[in-house]
Structure 1
């Protein structure tokens, strides 16, 4: 019998709290019966919700805590007030203790990042974690990172992001050698800031295993799906994400207004209803809900704070998949292989540089 996936949930996180957490867990358990849950939160609120889902309740341990991280808390405040006692910290700590394989939270992103980094630490050879998520494209989906875990990046960090993003694409998208692009202001090699150009040179010259470097990509390549993985630093990535979400809502509003503008438009909508339903499903953010904090020594999934039970279920399923496919092990393997390749490349370069000097040395 397959080993169950143990999932730790921050029961008080998100805009809607326990109702969405329990509802999403119930739906996820229906879809993935080999899941077991630990929910941390206010027992008086969560227990009655669990009682409505007998199958889920039979596979869930409820741990009471009356402390919750608020959505508007600063990360430093959350660490001071919620460390050791909040539902968010206890859910993360369950992963550290080996009681759970993955933690899912819809709570404050900054607080979740800070607590996860303090509690779990980063992987060896990784300086900073990154938030990665699936991005809908005209070709299907791409992995985009960093979406706001940290601000700024040097060349080495961008290379690390490329390796981690490629590892995620191999698991979630099922692509053996995913293509990787660096987000830039142009595709020409002379454009962009020095850190991005330096990262491009490394990825182009050092042939890292299990990924194919495509080159620079621009903002419109995100929706086009030009590459399987798009890499950028957190400030730019978060702006791109919020811009895309806002644009999707804007287009949806335009369509609703256009379809109700006149009798003929309403009749036209009836004839094209299936096409509009398909478009609505394609633009539904719940279908790609769930960002993964990569680079931590544990699996942490961030659900959108305003999502409903269906979206929260999607975040749980992302966590389930990355555990089943051993994402952490694959990232470690790819980082180790890349280090070996870079060392060999460095030695080869040193030998090439030394060879002319030896030839010119007089007898």
Structure 2
């Protein structure tokens, strides 16, 4: 394929161009074959592009969009009331074939609504699902849905499981183990939707369904794909991020509590840095909207430069693997 082009909503998130533009510049230095399109209010974006060489500017384009979708805005307002928002224009570039993927740290509800309206879902998929890679004892696990769909039917959970399995396989996991997140592993546990979804998955050919999994099993690496509704998934993800931050803070406090503790801390520093790198949310930032006829990656709104680059890396990986097309081919068979 031609050089990948990723469109970025430069006005999204808590920091906007102040953080997103430097992250994009650093990312281009890491991937020499890539092109990025910064979408947003051109004068604000250009303020952060001074000093770039002509060669760098050839790979970093600015596409003006006059409006901004705020973080507290209703999706309906973003959909109907802001036709020239940076978020919408970035998605239109994907729809029109001028970019291969879109990355935004903006309003999640608005991004989902605009993505469904502009890019449409793949045949057989009712709702897109948000998925991300969560660190586990054995590597990582694909967790979905993360908040795009708070209320889900058994059929939706089944579709999420199929999409998660295909995505995990496309991204390098052979015959991924698929599980439903539940309050227990016994067949009698769970609500009606989960039980019905389990029945559908037990009958599905081509999906390596292993049954129910509890929250601790997710982090022990007992499954490669874990499926739940967006209400549960979002709480689980945010709780995990909070726990990781608390553990890091408590360790730092502990190692600064006395001179002997500081000495131990200095000896353990290389291991602690590695652990922090494995667990920090910014390293795993970037949730994909699976089920769309295009690639959309949602960055955490509070992500800084490292987190934005992680979301860009996720988008680039999906572009390389042509994930929507691979999903389409497999979903036709499985659904």
Q: TM-score, normalised by structure 2?
A: 0.96
Structure 1 CA distance for aligned equivalents of residues 51 and 299 of structure 2: 23
Give 4+ residue runs of structure 1 displaced > 3 Å after superposition.
none
Structure 2 CA distance for aligned equivalents of residues 265 and 307 of structure 1: 32
Give secondary structure in 1 for the equivalent of 2:12.
coil
Structure 2 CA distance for aligned equivalents of residues 189 and 304 of structure 1: 35
Q: Contact 1:25/1:56 (CA < 8 Å) preserved in 2?
A: no
Give secondary structure in 1 for the equivalent of 2:48.
helix
Q: Give the drift of 1:261.
A: 1.1
Q: Give the drift of 1:161.
A: 0.4
1:357 matched residue in structure 2: none
Structure 2 CA distance for aligned equivalents of residues 37 and 56 of structure 1: 10
1:12 matched residue in structure 2: 11
Give secondary structure in 1 for the equivalent of 2:190.
coil
Deviations 1:121-153 (A, max 9, x none): 211111111100010111111100000011121
Which blocks of at least 5 consecutive residues in structure 2 are unaligned?
A: none
**1:213-232 correspondence runs (5 A):** 213-232=209-228
2:299 matched residue in structure 1: 303
Q: CA RMSD of the aligned region, Å?
A: 1.3
Q: Give the drift of 1:159.
A: 1.2
Give secondary structure in 2 for the equivalent of 1:272.
helix
Deviations 1:21-70 (A, max 9, x none): 21222222222222112211111111132233334421122122231111
2:310 matched residue in structure 1: 314
Q: Give the drift of 1:324.
A: 0.9
1:338 matched residue in structure 2: 334
**1:244 equivalent in alignment to 2:244:** no
Give secondary structure in 2 for the equivalent of 1:166.
helix
Q: Contact 1:182/1:196 (CA < 8 Å) preserved in 2?
A: yes
Q: Contact 2:124/2:332 (CA < 8 Å) preserved in 1?
A: no
How many residues matched?
334
Name whichever of 5-14 and 22-31 sits farther off: 22-31
Q: Contact 2:146/2:233 (CA < 8 Å) preserved in 1?
A: yes
Give secondary structure in 1 for the equivalent of 2:149.
coil
Structure 2 CA distance for aligned equivalents of residues 160 and 260 of structure 1: 49
**1:268 equivalent in alignment to 2:267:** no
Q: Contact 1:297/1:328 (CA < 8 Å) preserved in 2?
A: yes
Give secondary structure in 2 for the equivalent of 1:230.
strand
2:250 matched residue in structure 1: 254
Q: Give the drift of 1:206.
A: 2.6
Q: Contact 1:50/1:56 (CA < 8 Å) preserved in 2?
A: no
**1:325 equivalent in alignment to 2:321:** yes
Give secondary structure in 1 for the equivalent of 2:210.
strand
Q: Contact 1:184/1:218 (CA < 8 Å) preserved in 2?
A: yes
